Amino acid sequence: MSGLQLYNTYTRQTEAFRPIHDNIVGLYICGPTVYGPPHLGHVRGPVVFDVLRRYLEFQGFKVRHVRNITDVGHLVGDGDEGEDKLSKQARLEQLEPMEIAQTYTVAYNEMSRRMNVLPPNIEPRASGHIIEQIEMIEAIVNAGLAYKANGSVYFDVLAYAKSHDYGKLSGRILDDLIAGAGNEARELEGQDEKRNPNDFALWKKAAPEHIMQWSSPWGKGYPGWHIECSAMSRKYLGDVFDIHGGGMDLLFPHHESEIAQSTACTGHNPARFWVHHNMITINGQKMAKSLNNGIQVEELFSGNHALLEQAYSPMTLRFFILQAHYRGTLDFSNEALQAAEKGLQRLWNAAETAKKLPVSENSEYNITDIHEACLKSMNDDLNTPQVIAQLFEAARVSNSAADGKIKLDQVNIHALNELFDTWMVSILGIQPEKEGNDSALDGVMQMLLQMRAQAKADKNYALSDEIRNKLTALGFVIKDGKEGSSWSI
């Protein structure tokens, strides 16, 4: 019993999370289609589900986290028409599609590494699981819920809907879909092969010049977009697993199709919990090519974009994301990012302060209360903004204790330090950004602060002021306290 209450998109209810197997949680997250550099639309999912995973692991579960790489089959427009995104980009860059996939897989993983997102336990590629997809399609055909047409295979939505609740996850009503799809049916290529415009491709016949194609019982072709996740989640997590996650934009058609495919094949909705994070906006608007507000993650980290007033670090970005609840929208703006940067710095400073607090005989604050409040917030459908609010309360206590306004005993000082370690670092996954020449820098700074203290003691104020002024000019913040001086950048 974990105490975790999680909102299940499928049931539209917040439910108590209990894993299928005692101690193991199967977690499948839809990963990126690797045909371009990671942009702000890519950052939220990895961070949100990383925190879910970290929290489950904190609770003692072993998590098998599977996140796929879509390197084939994802067509432009998310329907069954148009070019494969990978092939199209490959043609533009005049490269083998797998070079595109490799380049942007590396870029995506590098982004994840910098944002301290734990690598998934298994990272399957769609192109590496063609056999598994073919076998699943065969099973759906044998169940009478898919049909062949001209070398392609389509899922028969109407046949499926006769005995299943098609549209339950996404809240779509089939009759509305049919009415809406009528007009485009004749205009789009491949639609004439379908019995119904809402049918979706499981396997697409490839033209001879198509680069990515494989042999199948239906001739040379490539898999549809949706079947990859059904085949790969099943292979590595079983017919039914605990949690399937993704962005809300994947609700329809992707996740709705996954449920239909798995149900047709195994008789089961593959996931107990369907968990969706909301989308991002930029200055209140959707990110879109036409609005010219598409910001790549690298641009955010370097500050190199017309909409950005400065660079924002990976940890600022991570903290910013977690300051919003995952089911609410997240709006990027310079003001909001700068506020996150400041807030995070305040937390780090307080965490540093907590390391050298004066010890009192007794305690005027019970730090366990904050820990309990954090647990309660996380159990409340991963309410990370509330957890962060609790961390700011801990920062207030830390600073007040340093100023002598609150007394803390040894036990509570220890608990305060542990609180930052557990919740900031382990569960929220916020790590100090400093790397590399850290210890050398700290060594020199300690030396300078000692020189300054000595100069003060010697009443050599010219020297002590000179050191302080020069350091300030270099961007250092020097903080004098009872226990000596400390520095930060």
Nearer to a second copy, 114 or 414 (CB): 114
Nearer to a second copy, 212 or 280 (CB): 212
Nearer to a second copy, 164 or 235 (CB): 235
Show contacts with a second copy in window 66-105 (CB under 8 A): 96, 98-99, 102-103
Q: Mapping DSSP to helix (H, G, I), strand (E, B) and coil, where does residue 476 land?
A: coil
Q: What is the Cα–Cα distance from 202 to 147, expressed in whole angstroms?
A: 10
Show contacts with a second copy in window 444-473 (CB under 8 A): 444-445, 447-448, 451, 463, 466-467, 470-471
- Cβ contact 38:296 at 8 Å: yes
State residue 280 phi and psi, 5-degree precision: -105, 160
Residue 347's contacts (CB-CB under 8 Å, 6 or more residues apart) are: 391, 392, 395, 420, 424, 430
Show contacts with a second copy in window 231-290 (CB under 8 A): 236
**Which of 76, 122, 178, 336 touches a second copy by CB under 8 A?**
122
- Cβ contact 370:350 at 8 Å: no
- Give the x-and-dash track for 130-159 against a second copy (CB under 8 A): xx---x------------------------
Q: What one-character-per-residue DSSP string does 298-340 give?
A: HHHHHT-STT-SS---HHHHHHHHHTS-TTS-EEE-HHHHHHH
Per residue in 76-107, is it b (16+ CB within 10 Å) or e — as a string? eebbbbeebbbbbbbeeeeeebbebbebbbeb
CB of 205 to a second copy, least distance (A): 16
The answer to whether 214 contacts a second copy (rule: CB under 8 A) is yes
Per residue in 315-346, is it b (16+ CB within 10 Å) or e — as a string? bbbbbbbbbbbbbeebebeeeebeebbebbee
Cis peptide before 253 (omega within 30 of 0): yes
The helix or strand, by DSSP H or E, that contains position 396, with its residue range, turns out to be: helix 384-402
**Which of 120, 223, 245, 314 touches a second copy by CB under 8 A?**
120
Q: How far is CA 412 from the centre of its chain?
A: 33
Q: Token pair of 187, please?
A: 């205009």
Q: Which of 357, 206, 332 is nearest to 281 (CA)?
A: 332
Nearer to a second copy, 329 or 349 (CB): 349
Show contacts with a second copy in window 298-357 (CB under 8 A): none
Nearer to a second copy, 138 or 156 (CB): 138
CB of 64 to a second copy, least distance (A): 7
Candidate ranges 36-44, 355-363, 401-409, 436-444; the one touching a second copy (CB under 8 A): 436-444
**Which of 380, 409, 476, 485 touches a second copy by CB under 8 A?**
476
CB of 70 to a second copy, least distance (A): 13
CB of 177 to a second copy, least distance (A): 34
Q: Calculate helix-pair angle for 410-419, 334-354, nearest 10 degrees.
A: 150
Candidate ranges 27-35, 221-229, 291-299, 434-442; the one touching a second copy (CB under 8 A): 434-442
Candidate ranges 124-132, 197-205, 317-325, 349-357; the one touching a second copy (CB under 8 A): 124-132
Nearer to a second copy, 107 or 351 (CB): 107
The answer to whether 380 contacts a second copy (rule: CB under 8 A) is no
Nearer to a second copy, 96 or 335 (CB): 96
Nearer to a second copy, 96 or 421 (CB): 96
Q: Which of 398, 343, 346 is nearest to 370 (CA)?
A: 398
CB of 117 to a second copy, least distance (A): 12
The answer to whether 121 contacts a second copy (rule: CB under 8 A) is yes
- Cβ contact 80:201 at 8 Å: yes
Q: What is the Cα–Cα distance from 98 to 478, expressed in whole angstroms?
A: 51
- Give the x-and-dash track for 34-73 against a second copy (CB under 8 A): ------------------------------x---------
The answer to whether 12 contacts a second copy (rule: CB under 8 A) is no
CB of 104 to a second copy, least distance (A): 11
Residue 96's contacts (CB-CB under 8 Å, 6 or more residues apart) are: 90, 211
Size of the site for a second copy (CB under 8 A): 46
Q: Which of 310, 318, 327, 237 is nearest to 275 (CA)?
A: 327
Task: Measure Cα distances from 385 to 107, 298, 322, 426 in Å.
Answer: 29, 25, 6, 16
Nearer to a second copy, 109 or 379 (CB): 109
Candidate ranges 53-61, 168-176, 313-321, 429-437; the one touching a second copy (CB under 8 A): 429-437
- Interacting residues with a second copy (CB under 8 A): 64, 96, 98-99, 102-103, 106, 119-125, 127-131, 135, 214-215, 236, 433-438, 440-441, 443-445, 447-448, 451, 463, 466-467, 470-471, 474-476, 489
